[in-house]
A and B are shown apart, each in its own frame.
Chain A
């Protein structure tokens, strides 16, 4: 499903080169709920950005669902994201002038679905996350948990190959965070999608099928059982 081969990412910070990722290798199977665990600055977000095709590696190759995304130009990368990648952001990143329904439907604009199909798919996904009654609410009319549910629905509505969630519970309290993780697990099971979920909250690790530890730009441990063992 996901193959990351010898991926490095070097930033130029002023005149200083910062090596955010070093020779990362990773392989994930389909329908896997994985957690990317590591301290701040360890390279979690950078790795998610590269896997999400919104950033390009300095070297190495990434393959998702059989597509080598490192060789695509911007237009094709964007089209790839529209079809294969779902994002859940820490700050929800909902578009404030759109309702919950419109925010979710917005993710389908780059697909081949008709307007009627888009509406039906959106309604179905909102129902799955329990937000049918809030479909016409704007983000500022919803709680943090509801907003994150909209974000989950938006990530899943196009039935992507992979959903990337960058610390999606960081702005939620622990109960709400745990609830969100349970929801994501349910969705992952329902839609048979691969999830990669970054966090540094040990409480959440027990929900993962697989833990990926990252420190100083290196993946230290590739596969851990769901019980949540740590290195």
Chain B
């Protein structure tokens, strides 16, 4: 108690220096917390948008993840509705699952007979109602838009990327922005397959030539039996997909349409079943349970999580973690040297007192502990003020209405720093800064304790 009293008074003795040191630690702590809060927000926002799109887990036929993307038809899941029902009725899984929805991946060629253009596409057949529910997932309470655009309406309705719409010459019909006049198609794409042109022409002639025909796209793909098949997609709108390569090729359609394209009149299958859980923390138990069920029922299925399905997510998280660590280290070093300097000056100024204490019978270890305690007190004060400062700044920013556009996002969203719901970040930063302050005081404290008593007493 006496030691604490002495330390507090020593800290308060040179108020200006202690205030400056505390301010430096507080600024360092606040900087680390603000950066951490921003990084956390970006990662959680990214996770939220990813989980809204892909769910947490995906059930595939064994081998699809590694080999199936080149030929999704070969890895179709038969009887997928029974698998979904089994998941939703399982007493362990059901409380964790928010949405279980099938999807079918399609690759092929999209063509517009009106403009005589075509482009390879990558598409997905989905259940719009399920996707609408998935878009509402917000386990972290972020102010992230759930989207105002309606899901697909018509049975043959679809959504395509802005880039694909531009390439198919559908700028006016779909209100595509930044859509200059297309270069001469004969020069730009002389490789349009003549068989595909013929097929499209036949389909167009067989169908109705109504005004809505201008918003129609014909999709060509090989069926499970290897025969070419064509379906007509009524494009309801074009949406930016975030990444140009994806935007230039993406097609979303109703699941039955995709199944009709790939399986014709055969048994409809799906490429995968997406599971969106109530919370990301449930991935491990849900995955384990699914694996147990598949093993028990001898189903040739495997489970992948969204991190495996979206390698960019993992890379982005690692990138942000690296930046955070680097900046935090730099700040930590600055704080360390600030404390080191302050405590070294304190030792120099109090050399005579150190000599007196030692002459009175105070052990070296006690002197050393005294200075480390003083450094720690400065750290506690600075880190605590830093937390309060960061909290204040976060409140101001979160209520300022500032917006930003995250990477791989279609639009701007409100900027929110994720601090108050993030106890590990706050506790981690506080403990780290206090720890740095304590460690920084060790060397000056060691020097103080090792001063020869006679020399210290003689010091003026």
Contacts and interface: CB of A to CB of B under 8 A. Distances in A.
Given A85-B361, A110-B362, A93 B454 contact: no
B364 interface: yes
A10 interface: no
Contact of A78 (B1, B10, B355, B364): B364
Interface stretch (A36-44, A47-55, A187-195, A218-226): A47-55
B356 A93 contact: yes
Nearest to B8: A97
Given A49-B454, A54-B453, A105-B2, A95 B361 contact: no
A83 interface: yes
Given A95-B353, A97-B9, A107 B453 contact: no
Given A81-B361, A83-B361, A109 B352 contact: no
Interface string A41-79: 000000001001011000000000000000000110011
Interface in A75-93: 75, 78-83, 85, 87, 89, 93
A79 B361 contact: yes
B361 A98 contact: no
A98 B457 contact: no
Given A93-B352, A97-B13, A98-B6, A54 B360 contact: no
Contact of A54 (B2, B6, B366, B454): B454
B388 to A, nearest CB: 27
A74 B362 CA distance: 11
A110 B454 contact: no
A154 B364 contact: no
B361 A107 contact: yes
A1 to B, nearest CB: 19
Size bracket, chain A contacts: 20 to 34
A119 B157 CA distance: 89
A59 B363 CA distance: 25
A78 B457 contact: no
Contact of A79 (B9, B363, B453): B363
B358 interface: yes
B359 interface: yes
Contact of B10 (A97, A109, A110): A97
Contact of B362 (A109, A115, A154, A158): A109
B361 A78 contact: yes
Contacts of B364: 74-75, 78
B363 A81 contact: no
Contacts of B358: 54, 78
Contact of A95 (B1, B356, B454): B356
A102 to B, nearest CB: 8
Q: Which residue of B6, B10, B360, B363 has the most chain A CB atoms within 10 A of its CB atom?
A: B360
A110 B5 CA distance: 17
A40 to B, nearest CB: 14
Given A97-B13, A105-B2, A89 B457 contact: yes
Contacts of A107: 360-361
B362 A78 contact: yes
Interface string B1-43: 1100110011001000000000000000000000000000000
Interface in A89-126: 89, 93, 95-98, 102, 105-107, 109-110, 115
Q: Which 7 A-B pairs have the closest CB atoms?
A: A82-B361, A97-B9, A110-B361, A54-B453, A93-B356, A81-B361, A55-B454
8 contacts: A49-B454, A78-B361, A80-B361, A85-B359, A97-B10, A106-B360, A107-B360, A110-B360
Interface of B: 1-2, 5-6, 9-10, 13, 352-353, 355-364, 366, 452-454, 457
Interface of A: 49, 52, 54-55, 74-75, 78-83, 85, 87, 89, 93, 95-98, 102, 105-107, 109-110, 115, 154, 158
Given A93-B457, A97-B10, 10 more contacts: A49-B454, A52-B359, A55-B452, A55-B454, A78-B358, A85-B359, A93-B356, A96-B353, A106-B360, A107-B360
